[in-house]
Amino acid sequence: MNDLAWILWTVLGVILIITEIFTPGFVLLWFGVGALVAALAALVGLGYPFQFLIFFVVSTVLTALSRTLFVNYFSTKKDGGHHKFGVDALPGKIGTVVTSSRGPLDEGAVKVFGSTWTAYPAEGEEPLEAGDRVVVERLQGASIYVRRVKAVTDWRGAALTEGSDKS
């Protein structure tokens, strides 16, 4: 049976790695790698206790390291703050006025990241005109307060000229 152990470990490793494609956790990959390392241990001739120990240690260490790296990378920004998602990420984002200001409060509509928001000009701003590029200054309830932007940059930081962007 020891001659077949490396084949069984290899099959288990490949199955775990393939199964990882269909799961969101990013854990089975490391257990698959652990099984492949255990297959190498079996191929070299180490006994079952060592094979299981190697499988356990490699899988655990890789899982712990990847969790630590992913949590550190995805949960904090380089400046030490946390990433913002959803409405918390709106302030500072650039949008386009789709409906000009109207009414006593100069209510308009601004499209930011594919969502249209009820928008008001920030204090000291002129009423909104359709087509204006604006930056979200703050969020209050389900409305945003915006300010016109003078220069707009694309995702690379390059300045956009009027009519050159496709949003």
Q: Which pLDDT does position 70 carry in this prediction?
A: 72
Contact 141, 109 (CB under 8 A): no
Domains present along the chain, CATH in parentheses? 2-75 (no CATH), 86-148 (2.40.50.140)
Cβ-based burial of 39 (10 A; exposed 0-12, middle 13-18, buried ≥19): buried
Residue whose structure tokens are 């496709």: 166
**Taking the chain, what is the end-to-end CA distance rounded to the nearest angstrom?**
64
Cβ-based burial of 134 (10 A; exposed 0-12, middle 13-18, buried ≥19): buried
- Whether the predicted model's global pTM rises above the 0.75 cut: no
Lookup: tokens for 108:
């308009």
pLDDT tens digits, one per residue of 74-121: 665 555 566 677 777 788 888 999 999 888 888 999 999 888 899 999
pLDDT tens digits, one per residue of 127-167: 999 988 999 999 888 889 999 887 666 666 666 654 444 44
